[in-house]
Structure 1
Amino acid sequence: MDWKIELIDVPVTDVDRAIDFYVNKVGFVLDHDHRVSDDLRFVQLTPPGSACSIAFGTGLTEMAPGSQKGIQVVIPDADAARAQLVEAGVAASDVDEQPWGRFVFFDDPDGNSWSLQQVPPR
């Protein structure tokens, strides 16, 4: 039996600001933005090439905004990913060289934290 992680909640305070950040600065694809009512709005975005998406909105989670820590995304080139983020105005860390990969870290406007990992050659 396959077990696939396909959706992760990212709690945010301002849905439209989060859409702008993830689409226009980080480069995610906006898959859905559906307002069911004033109390329920569902937004789903997917990193390019990913089988796993993120979701945020109104009425979706009880997590506090900014409490999602350590979402990790595998990327082919840490230097290129960092350059893309910085060029778009995202405060990204320098590339952190480790024996298990090269990492870049950044936070969204609410403080949810992300780790980008360039996996070492196998």
Structure 2
Amino acid sequence: MKLEVLVIPVSDVDRAKTFYKTLGWREDADFVGDENYRVIQVTPPGSPASVIFGTGLTTADPGSAQGLHLVVTDIEAARAEIADRGLEISEVFHDAGGVFHHAGTEGRVAGPDPKHTSYSSFASFEDPDGNGWVLQEITERLPGR
């Protein structure tokens, strides 16, 4: 099995579309069925999986999707690219526990993981509705990945 698509809840479809296109994500589709049904699909650069949002797609509250991870090979460069596009993004951080980040901002320690361990450095941002995204630096995958 492979993950193909994530559906995220948004309140303003056009605002979300502008945001994700500003991130540099490719617009794959913008299908309008009627005033109660619209599907927009965007894909992050280099990703085999896409993100869908629109009207009539989910009963989840706008902004309720949290912990959506995007894998990058250079956390500082990826963070800078998003900031250079004029979007808000956290500074690079690692977790006090050293394994995986906590929910919210609890346990965040400024800067990348001191040992630059793969899977251990992060930066976070939100879309206009508050759906939470996390950049995670992975330079060497775990065995079998």
Cα distance in 2 for residues equivalent to 1:48 and 1:101: 22
Contact 2:73–2:139 (Cα < 8 Å) also in 1? no
Contact 1:11–1:65 (Cα < 8 Å) also in 2? yes
- Let me know the Cα RMSD of the aligned residues: 1.2
Instruction: State the partner residue of 1:60.
Output: 57
Q: Moved runs in structure 1, 4+ residues, more than 3 A? A: none
- The letter of the residue matching 1:23 is K
Instruction: State the partner residue of 2:138.
Output: 119
Q: TM-score, normalised by structure 2?
A: 0.78
**Greater C-alpha radius of gyration:** 2
Percent identity over the alignment?
Answer: 44
Report how many aligned residue pairs link the two structures.
119
Instruction: State the partner residue of 1:21.
Output: 19
Q: TM-score, normalised by structure 1?
A: 0.92
Cα distance in 1 for residues equivalent to 2:140 and 2:6: 28
Shift of 1:101: 2.3
Cα distance in 2 for residues equivalent to 1:28 and 1:116: 15
More strand by share: 1
Instruction: State the partner residue of 1:41.
Output: 38
More helix by share: 1
Cα distance in 2 for residues equivalent to 1:115 and 1:57: 22
Contact 1:12–1:57 (Cα < 8 Å) also in 2? yes
Secondary structure at 1:63 match in 2: coil
Q: Which runs of 5+ in 1 are unaligned?
A: none
Cα distance in 2 for residues equivalent to 1:115 and 1:34: 28
